[in-house]
Structure formats: C-alpha cells, structure tokens
Structure 1
Amino acid sequence: MSAIPTEQTRPPEADARDFVEGETQRPQLLIAVQERILQDPILAGHFAGLPTPGVPLLIGDPFNALSSPHQLRTSHRLVRAVDAFGNKYLNQYIVIKLLGCGRYGKVKLCLNAFDGKLFAVKVVDRKRLRDRRFLNEDGDSIMLQEYVHEIATLKKLHHPNIVALHEVIDDVQQRKVYLVLEYVEGGPVMEDNRWIAFPEELAQKYFRDICCGLDYLHYHKVLHRDLKPENLLQTADGRIKISDFGVSQVFETTDALSSTAGTPAFLAPEACTKSSFEGRPVDVWALGVCLYVFVFGTLPFSGKTIPDIYHAIQHKQLSFHPSIVISKELKDLLVLFFKVNHITSIKFVTLDTARPLLLIFD
C-alpha cells in the first residue's frame, strides 16, 4: 500500500529526530502536563504500573510538531521505542492502554508526549485489509475500500460534533498503519445491547448534537450510513460526537445509493427493499431510530433474523412503551420520523438566545 496523501506531510526524519532505534531514549515533554498526568486516574495508574514507576519530565516540543486542529498531518516513518521508565512509544505517542477492537484491528489510548493530549489510535493491519474473506464480487477488498473511505471522509471534516482525525502514520515498510483520532473520554453514549432509556430532556440534548453533526455532514456531501448509539461518543462535558466513518460515502451531485451498509435495525424501509435509494433520507431515518432508543431503551422495529427485522421496518406499526411517558411534542416528532414517506432532510437554524435552534424538515 502506498502512503496516503494528505494536505500536510512531515518529512520522515522529523519523526525520528529524538529517537534512536533499538535504544531506550525518550523525548522531553511539557512540565504542565505532569500535573495533568498525576490527576488523571487512567494515566496515573499507567505510570505507577511501569517497571520503573515515574512520570516523564515534560519540557517542550523538540519537533515543533504542534499543528493546527484544521490540518491533517501524515508521517511516513514509524519509530518504536521504550524509555527508561518502560513507556512504549509509537513515534511521539506513549501507549497507555487498549480501548477496544474494531473491524480493522485494535484501538489504543495514547498520550502525545509533546503536548500532553490523549488520542485514540486506530491500528490498521494492511494484511487484514486484503483478507480474501472480505472481497466483493469484483475481487476488490471491501475492508480496504472502507479504510480508504474513512480516511478520505475524515480529511474533509472539522466540526464540534464530529470526531476529528489528527494524524496518519503510514510507513510503507511497516505492516500496520496508525490513524490518530480525537479521544472522546465518555466512550459510546450507549454500549452495544446494554441500552438504558434517558430522561427526555437529556435525549433531546443528545439529539440536538447529532442533528448538528449530521446537518454538517450532509452539507459537505458526506453520507454516514451507520448512525447508531455505539457510534455516538460522549465528551466529558456531555457533548455528542459522531464517529466511525468506515462505511461512509462522499457524493458529488446525487446521493443515490445502490447497496446497503450499516446496521440492519437502523435501516430505512427503502434500503431494505430497493436496489437504488437516496442516502440522506436513510441517515435521517437512522437518526430517528437513535432518538427512539434514547427515549425508550429499545428499538422501534426488531426481529430474530435480518429478514424479520426488514419485515418489521416495512410493515410494523410504530408503538410506544406504555411504562415510559413522553411529551406530545416528542411523540409527534417520532411519528414524523417513521412515516412511510419519511423525512428526507433535517436542519438546525440559529434564531435567538431564547429559542436558539429550530428544526426544519423536508
């Protein structure tokens, strides 16, 4: 796989200037970050558990590597190192712990040694991307296509309700590629199959954040195609950010799709039956399913098998859980989402401080 082109590329020697391969040299870091490390239980636990417990001294960025959050950096050399404390480095990133596993591989929590910020680093295995079990009917790698789509999509995006991609470490001599993503502390707003209903006010707050992010995506001609609670991450201050753009798609003039993607229970009726359909309405339908799950802690349409789920989506009457009381306005909104000719687009318009946002449907 060739290196992935981006707007800003760092020379290979920049990544290795303060590392000596095969030795245990470490970079120097910012003093102010030391206090943050000691106050953060995850980081404090990591450094306390090292073979030689201690916190690295943080005194500055020797690479002058800090970049604008609007710019995506690409590094074409990966250097692994272990410092005197036992910290493992991927270039300037200290590996803290495993966050989870995804389609491509592992996701690790890492500390940037130059600015003390935490990042979620997605480790992508090139060999897995080309696994023969994941080829489409034309013989192309589905996972490779998804990976390329995710990079291309995230490069375009900068919004407070979208998870940001900060750097790509793509060393052609290495088996793995690393996507350095914004770390969202709260994780998924709801864990897989462990949904608990939210109070209506909180559900509306989350819904508002997702609407803002989705409106931004569609304005920039990006289809997410897999909106669901597990792909909605929550920051420490309660803001929702849309993540996981593995099956996303960028369109030019029309958002017509000819294949389904994403999670069956969140698909719109037309995506269950038609060979061609519009992508934006499918995203908006999935947004409605998310709102329903937030309020009731369960899916509006479900089944034991995928055909059962598709049948329920197309034919089952929308119902509300009798033990959970919601406002008439919210109930009317949910009914609007799941009409046969359902909402095709949704937008927030700023008004004033007393009534800051207005929903507009088409």
Structure 2
Amino acid sequence: VLNVTSKYGTRQISTHFISSDHDILGERGYKVDRILGEGSYSRVKSALWKKPGSQDTVQVAVKIINRMTAPQDFLDKFWPRERDVMQIMDHKNVIRMYDIFSHGNKIYITLERAARGDLLDYVQLKGSLSNQEAHKYFTEMCNGVKYLHSKNIIHRDLKCENVLLTANNSIKIADFGFARIMADSDISRTFCGSAAYAAPEVLRGIPYEGATSDIWSLGVILFIMACASMPFRDTSLSKILNDQKSDLNFPDKQKLSKRYCHLVSSILKYDIKARYRLTDIMHHDWMTLTPCD
C-alpha cells in the first residue's frame, strides 16, 4: 500500500497496480536481464526463468503487451489468434511458448530464446551463405512449416526477420502475430506480412490459399540466403509485381548450383498452378542430395 497526498487529502492505493515488470516477473521466478526489442505497444525482455517445481533455469524471451496502447483490432482479432496458435505448437523448429499470464493492463508471454538473433542480421553480417549452410537452414525451415501446415496453422508473415538462430545453430520460426488456423478449403482475403515476401496473388488482392503464400515466402528466403539480396525490387508495388512476372535474376549465377537455381525458380513461379508445393520442394534434388560447394 502506498500513501498518495494531493490537495484533496491523503489516500491509500495498492501498489499492485503500479508494480514494475521487473517486480511482477520476479514474483513468478524470472530474473530479468535486458530489453531485446521494443514496439509501439509491446517490448521483449531477456530473462532467466526457473520453472515451477524445478531447480533448473532456462533462458527465455518475455514479450510484454500493453493493452492500453495496443490497437483494438489487434486485441480483438490478431492477439486471440496468436495466443491460440502458440498454445498448440510443439516442434523443434518452431519457437515454443512456455508461459502466459496477465497482470493489470499487460499480457506477459514467455517464449523460447534464440540467442543468435535473426536470419536477416546473420546474412547481412556474413553475406551469401554457402550451399551447405543454406541447405541446412532451409531444410529446417521446411520441416517447421510442414509441421505448422499439418496443424492447419498458416504463418502469413514468413521472412528473414522471423527466422531465428539458436545457440546450437538451429532454425526457429517465430512471430505468429498474423498467423491463423485455416482448413485446406479456407480462403484468405487479408493482406498480411511484408510486401517483399508476399506472393503475387496476395499483392494483387486476390483471395488466396494460406499454405501457398507461406511457400512463396520460403522461396524468397532461400534466394536471400544464397544471394544476400532480394529477388524483387521492393521500392513500389508495381515494381515487385513486374519483377515477379519475369525470370529471376541470380547474382553471380556461376557460383550457384543448377539444382539450387531450379528449385528457387520453381517456388517463385508467378503462375500459382505451376508453382511448387511443399511436397515438391522436399523431394527436389537440391533437398535430397548431399550438398557440396
């Protein structure tokens, strides 16, 4: 209890409502370290967490959402979808949610921590990845997406920033803010995600199958990993669409394997009927044969 004095006299209020995130998390076994990221209505903090009933601690990322500043559309539609999706996921290549609770006007989500950051930062730092490294990461991404789609979960915002790297050099698909559960027969009419990674039908506003839009995004990521550049100019919508209709322009094509170029080109087909599905990708020679540089 805290005494607060004003011109109207002194009154007592409970400090329960003004406790800091550090105090609130500390009461639940968290030792907060630092801020990893911050947005207009949420922030992510690094922490060590001692699970209830265990003496072991695990490094986690705690996402804190402020209901007071979050858009109503997010609270009514996107957050319930994200919560429902996160609660059913359990795969080695998908970020896991350990805990979720509310306190006052805030929602606290405890997530598995990927200590090495995201794939975009990694490619920007290292440049083009080797054939072997790109093969490893892409195989793990495909395994994660295959699992999601088997649960009828469509990510709808796959991009390098949402692919994380763990301390043991494994891939984790993250950020399910636009995800939703869709049956095979369901059609989406909402534009989600980043234009640079979006399929032509999504950019054109045509109702689309969620799974095919995720596959297109995987193709963009695969191009970026090996080429360290975007496959399409993203300065305007018209330029993206024009580039998507044209043959891919691979930089330093002589350094890239023919199998790799064929796979990427097959995923990024403008004609959705000719575009590879996940089964086609996973049975492609570049995926099944031992990669070499």
Q: Same fold (TM over 0.5)?
A: yes
Pairing 1:229–2:160 present: yes
RMSD: 3.1
Q: Which runs of 5+ in 1 are unaligned?
A: 1-20, 23-76, 132-139
For residues 232 and 277 of structure 1, do their structure 2 counterparts lie closer, same or farther at Cα, with a shift above 3 Å needed? same
Residue 223 of structure 1 deviates from its aligned partner by 0.5
Give distance in 2, aligned partners of 1:200 and 1:143: 42
Pairing 1:98–2:35 present: yes
Q: Secondary structure at the match of 1:117?
A: strand
Give the structure-1-normalised TM-score: 0.66
Pairing 1:170–2:102 present: yes
Q: Matches of residues 317-328 of structure 1 in structure 2 within 5 Å?
A: 317-322=247-252, 325-328=255-258
The answer for the alignment partner of 1:185 in structure 2 is: 115
The answer for the alignment partner of 2:199 in structure 1 is: 268
Q: Matches of residues 285-304 of structure 1 in structure 2 within 5 Å?
A: 285-304=216-235
For residues 115 and 253 of structure 1, do their structure 2 counterparts lie closer, same or farther at Cα, with a shift above 3 Å needed? same
Give distance in 2, aligned partners of 1:82 and 1:342: 49
One-letter code aligned to 2:120 = M
Q: Percent identity?
A: 27
Superposed CA offset, 1:221-263 (max 9, x none): 0100111111000111111010000001101352311121001
Instruction: Report which of the two has the higher share of helix.
Output: 2
The answer for the alignment partner of 1:119 in structure 2 is: 60
The answer for the alignment partner of 1:194 in structure 2 is: 124
For residues 215 and 323 of structure 1, do their structure 2 counterparts lie closer, same or farther at Cα, with a shift above 3 Å needed? closer
Q: Matches of residues 1-362 of structure 1 in structure 2 within 5 Å?
A: 89=26, 91-102=28-39, 104-113=41-50, 114-129=55-70, 131=71, 141-142=73-74, 144-171=76-103, 174-191=104-121, 194=124, 196-313=127-244, 315-322=245-252, 325-339=255-269, 340=271, 341-346=274-279, 358=288
Q: Which runs of 5+ in 2 are unaligned?
A: 1-13
For residues 89 and 336 of structure 1, do their structure 2 counterparts lie closer, same or farther at Cα, with a shift above 3 Å needed? same
Q: Secondary structure at the match of 1:241?
A: strand
For residues 203 and 322 of structure 1, do their structure 2 counterparts lie closer, same or farther at Cα, with a shift above 3 Å needed? same
The answer for the alignment partner of 2:6 in structure 1 is: none
Give distance in 2, aligned partners of 1:126 and 1:303: 33
Residue 193 of structure 1 deviates from its aligned partner by 9.2
Q: In 2, are the aligned partners of 1:108 and 1:122 still within 8 Å (CA)? A: yes
Give distance in 2, aligned partners of 1:158 and 1:103: 29
Give distance in 2, aligned partners of 1:343 and 1:288: 10
Residue 302 of structure 1 deviates from its aligned partner by 1.4
For residues 111 and 122 of structure 1, do their structure 2 counterparts lie closer, same or farther at Cα, with a shift above 3 Å needed? same
Q: In 1, are the aligned partners of 2:64 and 2:107 still within 8 Å (CA)? A: yes
Give distance in 2, aligned partners of 1:161 and 1:347: 20
Q: Secondary structure at the match of 1:331?
A: helix
Give distance in 1, aligned partners of 2:200 and 2:257: 26
Give distance in 2, aligned partners of 1:210 and 1:200: 15
Give the structure-2-normalised TM-score: 0.81
